Amino acid sequence: MPTYPNQRGRFGQFGGMYVPETLMPAIHELDLIYQKIKRDKAFQLEFQTCLKNFVGRPTPLYFAERLTKTLGGAKIYLKREDLCHTGAHKINNTVGQALLTRRMKKKRVIAETGAGQHGVAVATVAAMFGLEAEIYMGTEDMERQSLNVFRMRLLGSKVTGVNAGSRTLKDAISEAMRDWTTNVATTHYLLGSVLGAHPYPMMIRDFQSVIGREARKQILAAEGRLPHCLVACVGGGSNSIGLFYPFVKDTKVKMVGVEAGGLGIESGKHAARFSGGKPGVLHGTMTYLLQDQDGQVNPTHSVSAGLDYPAVGPEHSFYHDTERIHYTSATDQEALAAFDLLSQTEGIIPALESAHAVAEVVKLAPTMKKNQILIMNLSGRGDKDVQQIAEMRGIPL
């Protein structure tokens, strides 16, 4: 079985390096440095040590007994990325890239953020490594996630609002790319998901694969066998590929990626790229993209800022077309119901993004046999969403 991507950053027809000439030398430099550190034992040891002592890894693989009983089907395990420092899987990647930034002797990092989780993770490693950080965030997302904006500022980062276009994650990425184009000599773009030009999708997948490697070991220790099914939410696709990738060659393990169904696929107001999108090029990569008949990128909608993006990581597009991973979606409403369910049956408040995965588990687990095992990636905790949910329910805090 060949490994992907190929040398030109392709996962089949997807991926590639579609960036302006000004950035190309930096992209190649990043590719070269990443090739080197991937095989560098000292770097990998440094990374593992940081994940252990700073992030708090390994995260538990938790048997959700009450949820399992409630749904009455498969045995449900939760991979507890919500217990990572800063509350989501995003920190795994930011630690890796911060170490890389130090190797490149760059002093400044920039990033985009949607839900604010990646922004907080960047602000955190910037503080820890003594880097200057500027984080771009759509002004609509700044409203939805004001708590995280404040956290980033507390950590010493500059948060810059982006007022262009839809004022969400996609516009924050565009603005970060413009900053990078201008300051490429001194600045590393610390991208937050398996998106963008090669080598980002590969590099971020590798950094996040710690999730799946741990989960594999943990389930073998707990059950002595591999799971039947993996479930994760898919925004850009980093927490899902992080869990899935170490199982890709285990062809008996089914994998389900859950996109944001928003107000329903029929409404057109969603971020389900595999339901309404077709291949196109955005932000440096060829991948499934929500677009109109003229190739203009469509506005998206999701209750969850972290899933509200019109494109998906190119590796996911590849696994979609080759049918290795099955993609589905959960609506805002389903995610909100799942949010309550997990909170009240397990005492775990999930991030709204992760609640989309929970919503799929609610549908899937009862159709499975009691001796079958399902692992869901609980990508983050819901503290950041509590305020938004109270507001939606008309509850003043």
Partner 1 sequence: MKNRIQQTFNDLQAKGEKALIPYIMAGDPSLEVTESLVLTLAEAGADLIELGVPFSDPIADGPVIQQAAERALKSGTTLKKILSTVRSLRTKTHVPLIFMAYYNTILTMGLENFCQQAVSAGVDGVIVPDVPPEESDELCQATKAAGGPVVIFLLAPTSTPPRRKDVIQRTHGFIYYVSLTGITGAQLPDLAQVKKNVQTIQKIGKKPVAVGFGIATPEQAHNVAQFADGVIIGSALVRNIAEHHQDPDFLSRIKTTTVNLKAALR
The one of ligand PLP, partner 1, none whose footprint includes residue 380, by CB under 5 to 8 A per kind, is ligand PLP
Could you tell me which stretch among 22-30, 46-54, 257-265, 323-331 binds partner 1 (CB under 8 A)?
Answer: 22-30
8 Å CB contact between 110 and 189: yes
Q: What angle do CA 385, 390, 393 make, to 5 degrees?
A: 125
Looking at the Cβ atoms of 190 and 325, the one nearer to partner 1 is 190
Which of positions 287-306 make contact with ligand PLP (CB under 6 A)? 306
Using the minimum distance from each CB to partner 1, give the nearer residue, 305 or 374: 305
Q: Which is nearer to ligand PLP, 184 or 208 (CB)?
A: 208
323 binds partner 1 (CB under 8 A): no
Angstrom distances, CA of residue 64 to CA of 13, 48, 216, 347, 366: 39, 27, 17, 10, 14
- Taking the C-alpha atoms of residue 206 and residue 93, their distance in angstroms, rounded to an integer, is 9
Those residues whose C-beta lies under 8 Å from the C-beta of residue 254, and which sit 6 or more positions away, are: 228, 229, 230, 326
Residues 58-117 that bind ligand PLP (CB under 6 A): 88, 90, 114-115, 117
Interface residue with ligand PLP, options 9, 236, 246, 310 (CB under 6 A): 236
Q: Is it true that the peptide bond before 350 is cis, omega within 30 degrees of 0?
A: no
Task: State the binding partner of 56 from ligand PLP, partner 1, none, CB within 5 to 8 A by kind.
Answer: none
Query: Between vectors from CA 27 to CA 180 and to CA 199, what angle results, nearest 5°?
Result: 115
Question: Which distant-in-sequence residues (6+ apart) come within 8 Å of 249 by Cβ?
Answer: 1
Residue with nearest beta carbon to ligand PLP: 380
Distance between CA 272 and CA 256 in Å, rounded?
14
**Does residue 261 bind ligand PLP (CB under 6 A)?**
no
* 263 binding partner 1? (CB under 8 A): no
Give the residue with the Cβ less far from partner 1, 58 or 284.
Answer: 284
- DSSP string for residues in 5-31: S-TTSEETTEE-----GGGHHHHHHHH
Among 1, 2, 3, 8, which residue sits at the site for partner 1 (rule: CB under 8 A)? 8
Query: What distance in Å separates the CA atoms of residue 137 and residue 143, rounded to the nearest whole number?
Result: 10
Active-site annotation holds for 112 = yes
Task: Determine the size of the site formed for ligand PLP (CB under 6 A).
Answer: 22
Tell whether residue 379 is a contact of ligand PLP (CB under 6 A). yes
97 versus 240: smaller Cβ distance to ligand PLP = 240
Closest alpha carbon to 260 in 128, 352, 163? 352
Catalytic residue, from 79, 90, 106, 384: name it: 90
Q: Binding pattern to ligand PLP, positions 168-207, x when CB under 6 A? A: -------------------------x--------------
Is 90 a catalytic site residue? yes
Among the listed residues 181, 209, 345, 372, the single contact to partner 1 using CB under 8 A: 181
Q: How far apart are CA 244 and CA 81, in angstroms?
A: 14
Strand partners, 133: 109
Dist CA 327 CA 285 (whole Å):
20
> Does the protein bind partner 1 through residue 6 (CB under 8 A)?
no
Using alpha carbons, list the distances in angstroms from residue 191 to 69, 369, 386: 39, 40, 26
Residues in the chain: 397
302 classed as catalytic: no
Interface with ligand PLP (CB under 6 A), residue from 16, 199, 262, 380: 380
Residue 230 or 297: the one with the smaller Cβ distance to partner 1 is: 297
- Residue 182 near partner 1 by CB under 8 A: yes
Residue type, 44: Q
Q: Are 334 and 359 in contact (CB under 8 A)?
A: yes
Site map (CB under 6 A) of ligand PLP, residues 351-370, x = contact? x-xx----------------
Residues engaged in binding ligand PLP (CB under 6 A): 88, 90, 114-115, 117-118, 193, 233-240, 306-307, 351, 353-354, 379-380
Catalytic sites, residue numbers: 90, 112, 379
